[in-house]
Amino acid sequence: MAKFYESTSELTLTDQSNEYTQKVEANEMNLLKSVYLGLLNLGADTVTDRNQKKYIRITNFVAGITFLGTLLYLTFAIFWDKWYWLYAMLSLSITCLGVLALNSFGRTTASRVTYILGFNWLIFLNTLFVGPNVMGYNYLFISLIVPFLIFDVKKVWFVAMGIVIPLVLIYAFDFVVPYFSNYNLDFEQQQILQKVGIVLQCAFLLLSVYQFVYYNNKTEKQLQNSNGQMMLQTSELRRSNSDLEQFAYIISHDLKAPVRNISGFMSLLVSKYGSTMNPEAREFVDYSQSGAKRLERLIDDVLAYCRIGTNLPKPIPVNLNDVVSTIRFELRDKLNSSNAKININKELPVINNVHSSLMYHVFQNLISNGLKFNKKENPEININYTNSLNYYTFSISDNGIGISKEYSTTIFQMFKRLHNETEYDGTGIGLAICKKIVEYYHGEVWFDSVEGEGTTFHFTIRKF
């Protein structure tokens, strides 16, 4: 029985020892992992662009691997007491540390340029010192991959620099190497370094390929996630559009019907009992009629805003001269009564792939506003355009009351009115409708104005 307890105790101690050893090993692994990730992310946490983070991390990785490789060569240099080679290798290791330091200070481009220049030049110099049999210039061939790892291919000059420098040094090697023959290592030493170099060069090449494969797989996963999110967003957008169409349907049917009833019954009330009403009651009825009519116009404008871009027919070429002629005809009574003019400074273009109804809304709103917000004896609207490579830019000018610059952004918001209803009629949605239509055709809308002198609205329509 005593032996049983002794063996049990020994097993318990052994288990505890193994558990302690595993914890120590796990802590050591976590420490190494933390150090590795810390070095890898030097400078990467200071930028938000995903691609820049990738290039910074690869630069840190390559500089770190190069530094570890130089430590091995430094060991040989110290053991063989080759001070000139030692200094060259120390310079390369310091350059690698400098690359990490530059990244940590946010000088990411400078760090990559430093690595390209320092690595190629110091490898070239080291190869001259140790001798041609070491075949150290193979590192220069491998370094041709590096610019594609640490630079965006769009940075043509940096990538070209990373390719041209090692090629020039490779070409110059045979011409320069005879001048360093007195500094070369012994043949046996060169043979040893050649074998070591082959292993390191293969490792360096494999690690470079690993970076390509790793980030390619990472990019593919990110792309798959993005595609999945886009599909969800597309589904949500379709649902939102369906809800919007349902909302428009409710507005057009369920809300307009009672508003019409209110307006209609108020009209019947006035026609039947208007003569017997006292002035105060008649005033209340007039207010109710006015409010009902305004609410009906507001519903119509909201409905028009919601329907922009939905259930449209196939786009066709639209002659804007015909659009303006239609608007001029519809406004003929107002033009005659106010002695106003609508001038087309030069013949307007025919725009392909648009919708005449939407073009009508834009021109009708801007022209009507130019006439409405105008106190001149002779109101005048001038329509002009310019033609560029990808866009038509239209301008509709008036000589009206003008708009203050403080409203340059808010004026295009829904229900934004600069004047009260007693001064100027309207719902405050017209310019929001114009903005939405223009943006539907990938354009922009803005205005220039001088208070008391007039306003010019500009908008662009993209050519398709």
The enclosing domain of 350 has a CATH number of 3.30.565.10
Let me know if residue 247 belongs to a domain: yes
User: What pLDDT was estimated at residue 396?
Assistant: 92
Residues 141 and 244 in one domain: no
57, 41 contact by CB (below 8 A): yes
Residues 40 and 176 in one domain: yes
pLDDT digits (tens, 9 = 90+) for 420-429: 454 445 456 7
Residues 303 and 341 in one domain: no
User: What pLDDT was estimated at residue 4?
Assistant: 46
Mean pLDDT confidence for 387-412: 81
pLDDT digits (tens, 9 = 90+) for 283-296: 777 777 777 766 77
Query: Where among 307, 326, 354 does a domain terminate?
Result: 307
Residues 369 and 265 in one domain: no
In degrees rounded to 5, what are phi and psi of residue 399? Answer: -110, 40
In degrees rounded to 5, what are phi and psi of residue 41? Answer: -100, 10
Q: What kind and span of H or E run contains 453?
A: none
pLDDT confidence of 21, banded at 50, 70, 90? low
Q: Tell me: pLDDT of 419 over 50.
A: no
The residue ranges of DSSP E strands in 156-247, in sequence order, are: none
Radius of gyration of the chain, Cα coordinates, nearest whole angstrom? 39
Residues 403, 406, 410: CA angle, nearest 5 degrees:
90
CA atoms lying within 13 Å on the CB side of residue 129: 16
C-alpha–C-alpha distance, residues 126 and 122, integer Å: 6
Let me know if residue 156 belongs to a domain: yes
Least confident of 39-48, 88-97, 286-295, 302-311: 302-311
Residues 45 and 172 in one domain: yes
Residues 303 and 322 in one domain: no
Residues 374 and 430 in one domain: yes
Let me know if residue 204 belongs to a domain: no
Mean pLDDT confidence for 243-261: 69
366, 434 contact by CB (below 8 A): yes
User: What pLDDT was estimated at residue 17?
Assistant: 57
Residues 113 and 131 in one domain: yes
Instruction: Provide the 3-class DSSP secondary structure of residue 417.
Output: coil
Residues 302 and 333 in one domain: no
Q: Tell me: pLDDT of 249 over 50.
A: yes
User: Strand 341-344 and strand 454-462: pairing?
Assistant: unpaired
Residues 181 and 33 in one domain: yes
C-alpha–C-alpha distance, residues 97 and 72, integer Å: 16
Let me know if residue 230 belongs to a domain: no
Let me know if residue 248 belongs to a domain: yes
Let me know if residue 219 belongs to a domain: no
User: How far does Cα 201 stand from its chain's mean position?
Assistant: 40
In degrees rounded to 5, what are phi and psi of residue 454? Answer: 140, 175
Residues 288 and 356 in one domain: no
Let me know if residue 149 belongs to a domain: yes
Q: How far is CA 52 from CA 38, 108, 110, 118, in A?
A: 17, 9, 13, 21
Let me know if residue 286 belongs to a domain: yes
Query: Where among 258, 285, 307 does a domain terminate?
Result: 307
Mean pLDDT confidence for 53-65: 84
Closest CA to 245 of 309, 320, 199: 309
Closest CA to 380 of 344, 424, 329: 344
Per the listing, tokens 């104005």 go with: 449
pLDDT digits (tens, 9 = 90+) for 186-222: 888 888 888 888 888 788 778 777 777 777 777 677 7
Averaged pLDDT score across all residues of the chain: 79
Q: What kind and span of H or E run contains 420?
A: none
CA atoms lying within 13 Å on the CB side of residue 288: 18
Query: Where among 261, 290, 307 does a domain terminate?
Result: 307
Residues 74 and 180 in one domain: yes
Domain around 120 = 21-185
Structural domain count, the chain = 3
